[in-house]
Amino acid sequence: MTARRLLVGGAATVLTAAALLLGGVLSGGSPREAAAVPLTSTSVARLDRLGTSYEQRARETGDATYYARSEQAFRRALRLAPDDLPATIGLGALALSRHQFRAALALGRRAIALSPSTARGHGVVGDALVELGRYEDAFEEFNRMAGLKPGIASYARVSYARELLGDIPGAAEAMRYAVEAAAGQPEALAWSHTQLGKLLWSHGRLTAAEREYRAALTVRRGYVFALEALALIDAARGRHRAAVSLARRAAEVMPLPQFVATLGDLLHAAGDEAAARRQYALIAAIARLQQASGVKTDLETALFNVDHGIRLGESLTLARRAYVDRPSIDGAGVLSWALQRNGRCGEALHFSKLALRLRTLDASKFFHRAMIERCLGHRTEAKRWFRRALALNPHFSLLWAPVARRYAS
């Protein structure tokens, strides 16, 4: 199937997670290269490779301090050659990883001005536009990207576009093309299998999702993103001890907030509140380390805190700030949830409608809408949204799926 046919009937966009992971998976380079390149090198090409390798090292370890080293290498390259395309694109990808989307947009546009036919520049611009809520412009950029270079990055973006627009079979089809395109590239292949699995999981297809996660682990043993995803499969099937074990492995290898939060939620579900609180306490520490490395974490911190009932007033302030900086459907969704949890349900309804404006089939957003309707006294409408969330994915949240089941009846 050609990229042109893939885009028929819909435009391409991208999930933030996909943007961040793709930047490392598809850019090349390795930690060994990073160690081999002397810091005193004045070679632009070597500096470009060094910057890319540090970006990859950050992705592989979850250590955000590598971002500063990556930025230093790319900026040194640009001082030597102001029109260096790889460094410009590299800084754009780095800005995406740090959630600095307006900076990423400017760098991506600079890359396109330098080379309109280079697909990655269009990818950086499109990724940034998505997070800024400018979907039509983003769609155009991803159309251009797919036309210039069909491949893993383009197919993954088409897949998520179709998911955002409610076309789940089409999303799965495009992601399978990404899997095929990744053949012979172990890390990219493991990533593609895992993304396909997450797509299937989010729409209730546990067996098919598990098959993709295990395929990822066959390609790349110990792949932490697949381990954490398998933990959720085990939890959904009532295998709580196995779920905790897998989640612990993932969090110990790569202490990213999502892994630590999953482990904490599994421990909470198992009734081990003290252990769960210890994991939750790590989230704030990790966020501080990320912020020190230039990563904007307002949206993620607000969502975690609101989900877990932590400093709800402060979290609403964070969510408002995040939405101004990142006015996407996810930004609107987190703000709607924060407003609901603070009892401001009329205002929450407005942002829930914004979060669902693309007709995305997202069980969490459906659940948030249900809670808002219930808060407003619209019990019949609330039950309809609870049932929609559970019909889409009865295991959408370790914390909130049980609440949805209770209120849906």
pLDDT in tens, 220-265: 999 999 999 999 999 999 999 999 999 999 999 999 999 999 999 9
Mean pLDDT across the stretch 334-345?
98
Measure the CA–CA gap between 286 and 100, rounded to whole angstroms: 18
* Tally of CB atoms within 10 A around 263: 29
* Tally of CB atoms within 10 A around 267: 23
The pLDDT score that the predictor gives to residue 366 is 98
Mean pLDDT across the stretch 16-21?
35
The pLDDT score that the predictor gives to residue 42 is 58
pLDDT in tens, 77-87: 999 999 999 99
Spelled out in words, what is the top-level CATH class assigned to the domain 302-408?
A: mainly alpha
CATH for 3-206, among 1.25.40.10, 3.40.50.12780, 2.60.40.10, 2.60.120.200?
1.25.40.10
pLDDT in tens, 374-396: 999 999 999 999 999 999 999 99
Mean pLDDT across the stretch 367-379?
98
The pLDDT score that the predictor gives to residue 157 is 87
* Total length of the chain: 409
Measure the CA–CA gap between 225 and 220, rounded to whole angstroms: 11
> Terminal CA-to-CA distance of the chain, rounded, Å?
44
Question: Domain coordinates of the chain in residue numbers?
Answer: 3-206, 302-408
**pTM to 2 decimal places:** 0.89
Whether residue 283 is predicted with pLDDT greater than 80 in this model: the reply is yes
